[in-house]
Structure 1
């Protein structure tokens, strides 16, 4: 067997996600803008208001959080997709903001332990192949007492909505590796973080988490 079919058989979950996001990059900002207004309103501002010091954003995408970080923070971003990073670089330049942007995998962060005061991950753990591994990596690179800030869509608290999400993700997992019924909070607790804030909204389909690495 040769050609695209063979490549897909050999493709790892991480390689598939890179391919998916490279393909989606040119239209991502336009597509996500609607959901940010309707489903995730205020979420990026919420993250930015809690970020402190040396900030690492995991899966920074096209850099849509960059306008919301305090001016006295230093921001580093890591992203699997080179095409998404190119857009993030342009956004940082338009904002006049110096940002260290690197290509890398959330499950194998290219940073030393205890390198950051805050780690942010927005709308991405839903599609990272091994979210528990990614959260462990976020903990590793945080200083003791450092902040973990998450925003994501999760499985609804309303059974009919949850059932619809479960049915839809039979397609989204297969096509884009995106899970609609995951919930990150249990993984954060299992990783040993202390929960400071945890908020659910939109029939329980959106969650914001502010947690701290024990000192």
Structure 2
């Protein structure tokens, strides 16, 4: 898939507008649909951690205190909230503006790459996953959490209908599934689980050594 600058700019505009209310908007889903997901990510992250599309930094409280965290975010408004959250937690994390599809890091720079609830909206998820693989050391961990197409037909149908609006307005997909993309990128799958009628997926994979 080829991503146009217009697609990326549209996603940035959406998150710039959403940033002030994002934490309040997602709070209910955090409890009902994604409960335990951020803790799951934090328990598996280690070493030099890169969080792609860090958003408002909701994963930061769950990372090991001795880990080095670098985060990139397309939206400056979201990034500002993440930086304040890091400061409130007493974390000296490196949080910077950046595009998941063009990571500004050298090959083999990180031990863990995390992406939570974001590949659903990144215009080219295949490229984003390939970029995460590039910057991971051999044996490095890829940790993903996202909403995906449900295994229950009534929910899948509702997701498909919702996408007719969300893709056009915000570039957000509800029927994507990342596991096939992770496998196609050459990662080794360590854990993959689906929850909530298959509509939430957690993936732990490693870059071949």
Specify the alignment match of 2:54 in structure 1. 60
The 3 A distance-change label for structure 1 pair 98 and 189 is same
What does residue range 140-179 of structure 1 map to in structure 2 within 5 Å?
A: 140-179=134-173
Shift of 1:72: 1.4
The corresponding residue for 2:190 is: 196
TM-score (norm 2): 0.97
Q: Within the alignment, does 1:213 sit opposite 2:201 as a pair?
A: no
Question: CA–CA distance in 2 between the matches of 1:11 and 1:186?
Answer: 26
Measure how far apart 1:160 and its partner are.
1.3
Q: 1:35 aligns with which of 25, 29, 33?
A: 29
What residue in structure 1 maps to residue 13 of structure 2?
19
1:50 aligns with 2:52: no
What does residue 4 of structure 1 align with?
Answer: none
Residue correspondence of structure 1 range 87-102 to structure 2 within 5 A = 87-102=81-96
Higher Cα radius of gyration:
1
Aligned length: 206
Q: Give 4+ residue runs of structure 1 displaced > 6 Å after superposition.
A: none
* Structure 2: runs of 5 or more not aligned: none
Change (3 A) 1:169 1:90: same
Q: Report what 1:83 is aligned to.
A: 77
The offset of 1:108, in angstroms, is 0.1
Deviation at 1:159, TM superposition (A): 1.0
Cα separation, 2, equivalents of 1:119 and 1:212: 10
Deviations 1:19-48 (A, max 9, x none): 000000000000011100000000000000
What's the TM-score, normalizing by structure 1? Answer: 0.95
Q: How does 1:113-152 map to 2 (within 5 A)?
A: 113-152=107-146
- Where structure 1 has 5 or more consecutive residues not aligned to the other structure, the ranges are 1-9
